[in-house]
Amino acid sequence: MNYTKSSLPFALALPLPLAAAGQESAKPNILVFIADDAGMDFGCYGNPNIRTPNVDRLAAQGLRFRNAYLTSPQSSPSRTSMMTGRFAHSIGTEDLHTPLNPGTQMIPSWLREAGYFSGSMLKTHWGPEGDKQFDRMIPAKYEQGDLNEEAFAHYSTFLDESRGKPFFLWVGFTDPHRPYDRNLCPQVNDPNSITPPPYLADGPRTREDLASYYDEISRMDGHIGRMLDILRQKGMSRNTLIVFLSDNGMPFPRCKGSLYDSGIQTPLIFVWDGKIRPGSEHSNGLISAVDLAATFLDLAGIKPPQDMYGKSFAGLLADPSGRGREAIFAERNWHDTDEYIRCVRTEKYKLIYNAYYHLPHGTAADLSSSPSWYELKEMQRAGTIRCDQLQIFTAPRPMVELYDLEVDPYELNNIADVEMHVKAARQLAAQLVQWQKDTRDHPAWQRRRLDKNDRITGFPLFSEIPPLIPDCPSPANPQEAP
C-alpha cells in the first residue's frame, strides 16, 4: 500500500473534525461527474484557450490531482475498473462493450450496506448487472444536441428523494464523445486559438475538429454548473463530496485507445466544503482510478473487500502533501481493433508492451473516420508527415516502448534501446510482469477478437462486435507475461 495515511479511517486523517459539521451525517453524499472522452483540456489544467468556468471553479474550491491515471483508455473497461476497484482483465470486462458479469459488485452495492441511496443518470457502459446495483436509474437524454429539461428535473427529484440518507449519484455525460455536429453545439471556442498537440496535423480540419471537441466540453461544463446550482439551492452542498473526472483521453488519433498519457491521464478534482482545503493540489506521486472505489468506501466507513486491488487515498484529501502511488498500470484490449497493450508508469518513466507489434496501432473506429485522421493521412500521401506523426500508421512497431516523461511528455522519443536507460527498462518490465501475475492477466496468445475496422484506412470490416476466439494455439514456449 502506497498512499499516506490510507490505512487510517478518514475521520482520523482529517485536520478539520467531522464534529464541526454539526448534526450532519458523518457519511458524505458522493456526487460524481464523469466526462466521456475528455483529456486534460480544462482551464484549471493549464489549457488557456478552452472555456470551462464551472470545472475551473470546482478546482478553485477543492483539490486538483495533477497526476491521475485511468486503468484503460477505453470507456467500459475504464468505468468497470473504477467502479469495482479492480482491473478490467481481472473481472472479464477488458474488451470494449463487455458487460459486467453477474455477482461482480460495484460501488453502489457496497454503499447500500452503509445506508446509501444511489442513482445513475446518462452513460453507464457497465451493462444490466451494473444498472441493477443502483436504487434509481434516472431518466435523462440529449435532445437536439442538449441535455433535456427532464434530465434536470429528474436529477432534482433524486436529490429530494435521498433526504434522510446519504446519496451516491453518478452522472455520466456523453460529452465530448463523437460524433460532432457544430450546428448542434454552441460554438464558444475559436479554432484559430487552438494549438494542436505535435502528433496531430496543424491544419484547418484538425483545428475545427478540436474546436468541436472543446465546444462539447464547454457544453458539459455548463451542465455541471447547472446541476451544482440545484444542489446548492437545496442546501445540500455542505456535506456533499463532488468529484469530477473523465473515462479516457480525447477522441483523437494517438489519444483515446492508446496507453500514452493522452489516452490514460485524467482530470481529477475533489470538492468537499469545509473538509477539503480550497485551491489545494496533489502532485506528490501518482493516483490511479482503480483506487476510487476503495476511497469512496473508506469515506463511507466501509472496509473494502480483501480482493479489491485498489487502496483508499482518502488521507490525501486532508493532507495533499502525502505520497501517492509510485507506479500505475494500464491496459488496452479490443476496441474496434484487437490489441494487447500493457504499461507501467512512474513519475519519470513509462514502459509500454505491445504484443501485436507486427500490426499498426489499433485505432478506435470513431477516430479513424475523423477529420483529424484524414488530415494526417493526407500529409502521409503528400510526404509531409513527420516521423512522430507517422508512428500510429507504422508496422512493425516496437514491442517495447520506453519514454522519459520528464523530458519527453508527449512520448515521442522511444529510448528502450538506449543503454543508460536499459536498467530502468528491465526494472519496469519486471514490475509489469509482477502486476500481471498479481491481477491474473491472461497471456497475449490466449485469445483474440477480429478487427472490426481496417487499421490503415479505417474502413469498416464488420458491423457487429466479432466473437471472442478463445483457446488460440499457444506458441511453442508460451510466456505468461511479456
Q: Which residues bind Ca ion (CB under 5 A)?
A: 36-37, 75, 247-248
Phi, psi dihedral angles at 401 (to 5 degrees): -120, 140
Write down the least CB distance from residue 266 to Ca ion, Å: 11
Does residue 478 have a cis peptide bond before it, meaning omega lies within 30 degrees of 0? no
The minimum distance between CB 131 and Ca ion, in angstroms, equals 18
**Secondary structure, 3-state, 154-198:** HHHHHHHHCCCCCEEEEEECCCCCCCCCCCCCCCCCCHHHCCCCC
Smallest distance from Ca ion to CB 75, Å: 4
Report in angstroms how near the CB of residue 137 gets to Ca ion at its nearest. Answer: 19
Q: Per DSSP, what are the bridge partners of residue 349?
A: 404
Least separation in angstroms between CB 35 and Ca ion = 8
CB of 248 to Ca ion, least distance (A): 5
Nearer to Ca ion, 100 or 327 (CB): 100
Write down the least CB distance from residue 29 to Ca ion, Å: 25
CB-nearer residue toward Ca ion: 231 or 365: 365
CB closer to Ca ion out of 28 and 176: 176
Going by C-alpha positions, the residue among 3, 31, 67 that lies closest to residue 264 is: 67
Determine which helix (DSSP H) or strand (DSSP E) holds 352, and give its type and residue range.
Answer: strand 349-354
Which amino acid is located at 103 in the chain?
Answer: G
Distance CA 65, CA 321 (A): 11
Angle at 124 between CA 118 and CA 128, to 5 degrees: 80
CB of 279 to Ca ion, least distance (A): 29
* For Ca ion, the closer CB: 172 or 285: 172
Nearer to Ca ion, 37 or 95 (CB): 37
| Torsion sign across C-alpha atoms 255, 261, 264, 269 | negative
Q: Which residues contact 443 (CB under 8 A, 6 or more apart)?
A: 478, 479, 480, 481
Cell of 195: 494549438
In whole angstroms, what is the distance from residue 431 CA to residue 325 CA? 13
CB of 247 to Ca ion, least distance (A): 4
Task: Name which of 355, 327, 394 is nearest 480 in CA terms.
Answer: 355
Output the CA angle 42-228-28, nearest 5 degrees: 105
Of 36 and 95, which CB lies nearer to Ca ion in the complex structure?
36
Interatomic CA distance for residues 70 and 246, integer angstroms: 9
CA distances from 357 to 373, 392, 466 (A): 21, 11, 21
- Residue among 385, 303, 284, 245 at smallest CA distance from 67: 284
Pick 75 or 439: Cβ nearer Ca ion? 75
Cβ closest to Ca ion, residue 248 vs residue 262: 248
Residue nearest Ca ion by beta-carbon distance: 75
Could you identify the residue written with the cell 507501467? 344
Kindly tell me which of 221 and 298 has the beta carbon lying closer to Ca ion. 221
E strand or H helix at 68, and its extent? strand 63-69
CB atoms within 10 A of CB 256: 26
Q: Select 39 or 285, whichever has its Cβ closest to Ca ion.
A: 39
Compute the least distance from the CB of residue 76 to Ca ion, in Å: 9
